[in-house]
Amino acid sequence: MLPDIKSLTREELERQFKTWNEPAYRVPQLLDWLYARRATGWDAMSNLPKSLREKLRENFSLHTLELARKQGAADTTQKFLWRLADGQFIETVLIPANPALYGEASDRHTLCLSTQVGCAYGCKFCASGLDGWKRNLEPHEIIEQVLAVERWKNAARGTGHEAQGQAAPSPKPTASRLVDNLVIMGMGEPLANYENLLKALKTLNAPWGGGIGARKITISTSGLAPQIRRLANEPMQFRLAISLHGATDAVRERIMPVNKKYPLTELVAACDDYQKLKGRMITLEFILIAGVNDALAQTRPLAVLANRLYAKVNLIPYNPVDGLPWQRPSEEVCEGFLAALEKLGVTATLRREKGGDIDAACGQLRLKTERELASTT
Ligand code: SAH
Ligand code: SF4
């Protein structure tokens, strides 16, 4: 199979064009087609000479994601299930910054990206890891999630009928930017696909690429301490979210096997390094699961960690997964947990939308679709 053009960095493209004896100004022209105009085929690239388009076609593929399924209405959270070239499925979630809170839809959007098909880390509560790990996403498959959602949105705007999914004839490059925040919280463990993720994020961050500021990109990890240290030494100022879900080893170990490999002391030491090099850029994610980690006894050790790392805490009531025994605690328990944390001087938020919302963690739509497919074949 040919490498995909969007998996190449700008420097790699420049080297390639040099060996082809193509003038340097052709590179920004190509980048404009790929990332500003989100072209889906070589033939559209009308200002590139035919001979160059042929060379590109012979040497590179230009894949786009195929929409397999979509959940959610316009102007609310929308979940996209994509089919990859090899038939695997991944999910991307589009979250409006302010879902019609004040009666008008917001133009700012956060996009939640997947980085792997499945996940090897097997957290006991998570749909993404239920069937294990299949493969890493290539850089272009990570980047395409942004481009495909923006293409889809433009088509919906252009025709007023999103189901048609037709591409607008010639989208205006900058006016049609939709996504201004990225959270790497979809399927997979991002730091276990480190090289491809970083390559993709460099393109998504670049002004000629996605144009999304590094401080508007949050990478969520289940706690891979060595990779957190590596990320701390990258020049880009990404935000880091740690999926903590337990403030003591005993509680964390029960639901997250990764805690055996990197227990809390090791994880927190790596976060310390990140905090020292990057400043106040860490969030601690804490899903509340009934009878597992929602006892008030967890709030004190959690506050100690949060205060030491200058981190804020996001409390997220668990979203039940078909076939798994875990439940979310009652509203009173969640509110009580939040109040106790705040009393200990921690900046914390509690996600309050009602149960079963599609806003919930990634992996569930894919799981459902794969199970449906398995039962029909
Ligand atoms: N692998 C990375 C990123 C993907 S998971 C990580 O674990 O951080 C993104 C977030 O969704 C994690 O905090 C994860 O613990 C959480 N999550 C997974 N399943 C969930 C569920 N059923 N309800 C609520 N949050 C869930
Ligand atoms: Fe993997 Fe994250 Fe799910 Fe754990 S919570 S199984 S690390 S995707």
Dist. CA 193–CA 241, nearest whole Å: 16
Q: Are 338 and 348 in contact (CB under 8 A)?
A: yes
Average pLDDT, the chain: 89
Neighbours of 295 (CB within 10 A): 12
State the Cα–Cα distance between residues 58 and 280, nearest whole angstrom: 47
Per DSSP, the three-state class of 14 is: helix
B/e letters for 42-64, b = 16+ CB within 10 Å, e = fewer, are: beebeebeeebbebbeeebebbb
How far is 9 from 181, CA to CA, in rounded Å? 21
Burial of 178 (0-12, 13-18, 19+ CB in 10 A): middle
Encoded tokens for 321: 């997964």
Q: How far apart (Å, rounded) are the C-alpha atoms in residues 295 and 324?
A: 21
Ligand closest to the CA atom of residue 353: 1
pTM more than 0.95:
no
Measured in Å, residue 189 CA sits from the centre of ligand 2 at: 6
Whether 362 is catalytic: yes
Structure tokens at 250: 């005993």
Give me the catalytic one of 91, 138, 144, 150: 91
Could you read off the pLDDT of 243-281 as tens digits, one per residue?
999 999 999 999 999 999 999 999 999 999 999 999 988
Report CA torsion sign: 283, 288, 292, 296: positive
- The pLDDT confidence band at residue 237, using thresholds 50, 70 and 90, is very high
91 catalytically annotated: yes
- State the distance from the centre of ligand 2 to the C-alpha of 126, rounded, in angstroms: 6
pLDDT at 106 over 70: no
DSSP 61: B
Atom of ligand 2 nearest to the CA of 122: 6
User: Looking at the CA of 320, which ligand is closest?
Assistant: 1
Q: What residues are in contact with ligand 2 under a 6 Å CB criterion? A: 119, 121-123, 126, 128-129, 188-189, 222, 243
Output the six-digit token pair for 102: 């004040």
Strand partners, 184: 219
Choice between 30 and 167, residue whose per-residue pLDDT is larger: 30
The pLDDT assigned to 280 comes to: 82
Q: Which of 275, 262, 265 is nearest to 191 (CA)?
A: 262
* Residue-level pLDDT at 220: 96
Q: Which residues line ligand 1 (CB under 6 A)?
A: 125-126, 185, 189, 220-222, 243, 245, 285, 287, 316, 318-319, 321, 360-361
Give strand pairing partners of 116.
136
Closest ligand 1 atom number to CA of residue 241: 8
